[in-house]
Amino acid sequence: QVQLQESGPGLVKPSQTLSLTCTVSGGSITTYYYYWSWIRQSPGKGLEWIGRIGYRGSTYYSPSLQSRTSISRDTSKNQFTLQLSSVTPEDTGVYYCARSTGPKIATRLEEYDYWGQGTQVTVSS
- Sequential pLDDT tens for the chain (125 residues): 999 999 999 999 999 999 999 999 999 999 999 999 999 999 888 899 999 999 999 999 999 999 999 999 999 999 999 999 999 999 999 999 999 999 999 988 899 999 999 999 999 99
pLDDT of residue 107: 84
pLDDT of residue 33: 95
Q: Which residues, in sequence order, are CB contacts of 85 under 8 Å at separation 6+?
A: 17, 18, 68, 69, 70
Provide the CA 100 distance to its chain's centre, in angstroms: 12
pLDDT of residue 44: 84
Beta bridge partners of 9: none
**First-residue to last-residue Cα distance in the chain:** 39
pLDDT of residue 85: 98
Phi-psi category of 105—alpha, beta or left, where left has phi over 0 and alpha has psi -120 to 50? Answer: beta
**What's the Cα-to-Cα distance from 92 to each of 6, 11, 31, 115, rounded to whole Å?**
15, 9, 32, 19
